[in-house]
Structure 1
Amino acid sequence: MKTAAEPSRTVSTPLKIGAFRRFASAGLISATGTAMAPLALAYSVIEQGGGAGSLGLVLATNTVPTIVFLLMGGLFADRLSRSRLLFLGNVLAAGAQGALAVTVATGHATTMSVAACGFVSGTAASFTVPAAQGAVAQIVPEEHLHQANALLRLPSNAVKVLGPAVGGFVVAASGAAWALAWDAFTFAVAAVLLLGLRLEAPPATPDGVMADLRAGWAGFRSRTWLWSYTAAGTVLVAAWLAGFQLLGPLVAARQYAGARDWGLIQAAFASGLLAGTLVCLRWKPYRLLMVAVVTGGALALPLTAMACGVPLLLVLVAALLAGIGLDVAIVAWNTAFQQHVPRAEQGRMSAFNGVGERLAIPLGYLVTALAAHSWSSRGILLACAGMIALATVLNLCVPDVYRVNRITPSRRSRASDDDREAAQA
């Protein structure tokens, strides 16, 4: 599966592949808009008189489609051209954000119209996420996947450090409509870039959609390392969102200097993500999945630090280390996934993995809301940190975690020779 823009696979770095540069540029441009969108979305609700309930409805309608339609997106990614899916998904998102920007600018926005646009954007994401995972493996040679995944994370993490501040300035100076319009524009530019990839569709299967879905589930279930990592990831995401995103601002208000210190903690975490990408550009671990599991466990550090009420400097260090660990885990996991899952199945496997982790979002918030009536914030933070540590340890007990390692051309060649000798015997 090659691209029309890729005449040769013998390259020394992914940056020498024209299709990869196009794919990475699309991601960078889109990230500049995506970083501003949450703040602009919140203030578009506030500007038309909505409160916490209205904002919750808008956020829910943006999240629910990514759970409901993600499996369908995975099926499509294994049946159709992934570049075409990425193009259509970005066009759909551009239309939704553009329509929202117009309604906000003209003063005709309502909670329902904002929620409707969010629903469309969430639907678009459920088709582009599985397609993007498989597209990288089509574009980049196997030996350069780790570096490619790190390079793709580098600009998006840099934008995460600066984007919210720039978005806040734009919203404060010009209103939410301009930030939403910029988000729509970046989706449109990304769509044009992605259309030029022209990736071939995976080999067609004679079976129907439901048969493909059943085959995908059987493949997911048969790979112990895949479903065990997904299960552990669901726990990690739920505990992290509940402890850091939900309780973090409350703890910062009670134990530290409120919004100012919480902003510093978030900045430290975002800086850690960027630093983690730089680590991945230099370090290519052999035991990919084991590294992903261990470094993901670093998310327990800032939760433990805040629960223990340590000085702010130690919380900042813990948040920085958590960011580094999370980004190393993401790059290692993406590389392991792309190397060990057949390309024709990557859309469905990515969707099954994504559904589990996205279900953690409402689960984490719901459990925290219920526990808050009986437990203190400190107790919940410690429980969340304990869940992350326990999930990490249990995942390390899975033998397959130590078998999913980085594949080099020489290892692939030796494996092929062994297979041929076994067949001849």
Structure 2
Amino acid sequence: MDLLGTSMAPVALAFAVLHVAGSAQALSQVLAAYIGAQVAFVLVGGLAADRFPRTLVLQGSNVVSCLAQGTVGALVITDRATITALVVLVAIGGAASAFGMPATEGVVPQLVTREHLQQANAIMAFGRRGSMVLGPAIAGLLVATAGPGWAIIADAATFLLATLALARVNLPPRTVATGSSESVSFFGQLREGWTHVHSRTWLWAVIAAFGVINAIQAGAWGVLGPVIANASPHLGARGWGLAVSAQAVGAIGMTLLLMRLPLNRPLRQGMVGVSVMAIPLGLLGFRPEAWFLATAAVLGGAGIEIFGTGWRTALMEQVPPDALSRVASFDMLGSFIAIPAGTLLYGWLATRADVATVLVISAIVYATTALATLLVPSVRRLQRLSSSPTTRTSGSVR
């Protein structure tokens, strides 16, 4: 349920901010507050998820998100909202999500055996992608009929429902790897988490590559995409919406396949898969026509999902369970930092360079960066661990 709420939030919040201030600058301030809080707290969130019961961390994250979003909704409904208040409350929600996301990554291997990790990650991805299709549509309907304040209240309610659902999840006791200690300091535990990252070449190599890939994805597709669509008679807003939806459809379709098709070399297959997104990026600059772009976006979304499932499966198999949330938080930190950087860079390029040329060059850099990781032997050769004997204890849902 919290996935549905998270996917509803951008639409509901955007219209709430425009209702209060009617300013694009105000909207950028609110969105920056959310991302900034995530960046500031994600490492702390990963540490908390490795130190305390993960269901408790998730419940705490959901409760804080519910209260923050509920307060935003109430202020908008009563016409008492100010941009300052929204910035503060959205930052609180961003900080809460920084605790919930690493905890979620750590919960999955506690609930399923090793041989079912890929299927479990594919199911989780199906839920995420499905919510990305349904959430914005539901939020848009609520904004149009009841108003943005009530849309945000509905968003807050999904976090409350998720908190109640988590009460039924019973996780087994966490295993603590030899040499680690919960009594060490905050910075000591962060250093321990970083040690797990930099001691695995495949891990930091992929994170570094995604610093570039995410910046291009956010800037070229997220910023320049609408610019190209608005200027092209063969694309337009409707064609761009079709392309974005097609990307989600491709990802959803791939999650269904990955519930059955094994990824024996998850990083090799994943990085090849993610490189396919260069095709719609290049077409966006070279030939921005709706059906061509939508077809390519289906392939791009499917390729990205191969990476997403393969990457999470590799992390859950290769990283000790007691350090998994901290390692995931370092991964997320790299991703979050790249997103605003890419947005700002491409916004600057849009005013100073030919947009079509920028997109074609970006597609080449995107594919080259993804495929260059295969030059790292540990990325290219990493395999799924043997499914037996398993070292995990399966959790249960009462």
TM over 0.5: yes
CA distance in 2 between counterparts of 1:257 and 1:321 reads 18
3-state SS, counterpart of residue 247 of structure 1: helix
Distance in 1 (alpha carbons) for counterparts of 2:235 and 2:205:
40
Structure 2 letter corresponding to 1:224: T
Aligned counterparts of 2:371 and 2:125: Cα–Cα separation in 1: 27
Contact 2:211 2:334 in 1 (8 A): yes
Identity of aligned residues (%): 35
Deviation at 1:69, TM superposition (A): 0.7
**Match in the other structure for 1:12:** none
Quote the Cα distance in structure 1 between the aligned partners of 2:4 and 2:183.
41
**Partner of 2:308 in structure 1?**
330
Find 1:60's aligned residue among 27, 32, 42.
32
Q: How does 1:211-360 map to 2 (within 5 A)?
A: 211-255=188-232, 256-360=234-338
1:164 positional shift = 1.8
Instruction: Please state whether the residue corresponding to 2:21 is helix, strand or coil.
Output: coil
Tell whether the 8 Å contact from 1:279 to 1:328 is kept in structure 2 after alignment: no
Say which SS state the counterpart of residue 51 (structure 2) adopts. coil
- 1:412 deviates by 6.4
Residue 95 of structure 1 is matched in structure 2 by 67
Match 2:112 to one of 140, 154, 161 = 140
1:228-285 deviation digits (Å, cap 9, x = unpaired): 0101112111101111110101101112342111111111111112112112112111
64-73 or 273-282, which moves further after superposition?
273-282
1:242/1:384 contact within 8 Å kept: no
Residues 6-85 of structure 1 mapped to structure 2, 5 A cutoff? 29-85=1-57
Q: Cα distance 1:409–1:36, how it changes in 2: closer, same or farther (>3 A)? A: closer
Report how far residue 201 of structure 1 moved: 4.9
- Return the offset for 1:373: 3.4
CA contact (8 A) 2:235 2:288 kept: no
- How far apart, CA to CA, are the structure 2 residues paired with 1:50 and 1:114? 14
Q: In 2, distance between residues paired with 1:130 and 1:159?
A: 19
Using the alignment, how far apart are the partners of 2:339 and 2:26 within structure 1?
18
The answer (yes or no) to whether the contact 2:349–2:355 under 8 Å persists in 1 is: no
Could you tell me which amino acid in structure 1 is paired with residue 332 of structure 2? G
Shift in Å at residue 108 of structure 1? 0.6
Q: Distance in 2 between matches of 1:218 and 1:281?
A: 32
Please give the alpha-carbon distance, in whole angstroms, between the structure 2 residues aligned to 1:156 and 1:72: 24
User: What is the distance in 2 between the residues matched to 1:138 and 1:100?
Assistant: 35
Q: Is the 8 A contact 1:276 1:326 kept in 2?
A: no
Structure 1 residue 374: Cα displacement = 2.6
Distance 1:259 1:328 in 2: 28
Higher mean Cα deviation, 293-302 or 199-208?
199-208
Q: CA deviation at 1:195?
A: 3.1
Alpha-carbon separation, structure 1, partners of 2:74 and 2:288: 47
User: Structure 2: which 5+ residue stretches go unaligned?
Assistant: 392-398
Structure 2-normalised TM-score? Answer: 0.93
Amino acid in the other structure paired with 2:9: A
Query: How many aligned residue pairs are there?
Result: 385
Change (3 A) 1:412 1:201: closer
Structure 1 residue runs of 5 or longer lacking an equivalent are: 1-28, 414-425
Counterpart-to-counterpart distance in 1, 2:348 and 2:230 = 21
Asked whether the 8 Å contact 2:224–2:350 carries over to 1, the reply is: no
TM-score by length of 1: 0.87
Aligned counterpart for 2:94 among listed residues 114, 122, 145: 122
Q: 2:242 touches 2:290 (CA, 8 Å); kept in 1?
A: no
Matching residue's letter, 1:187: F
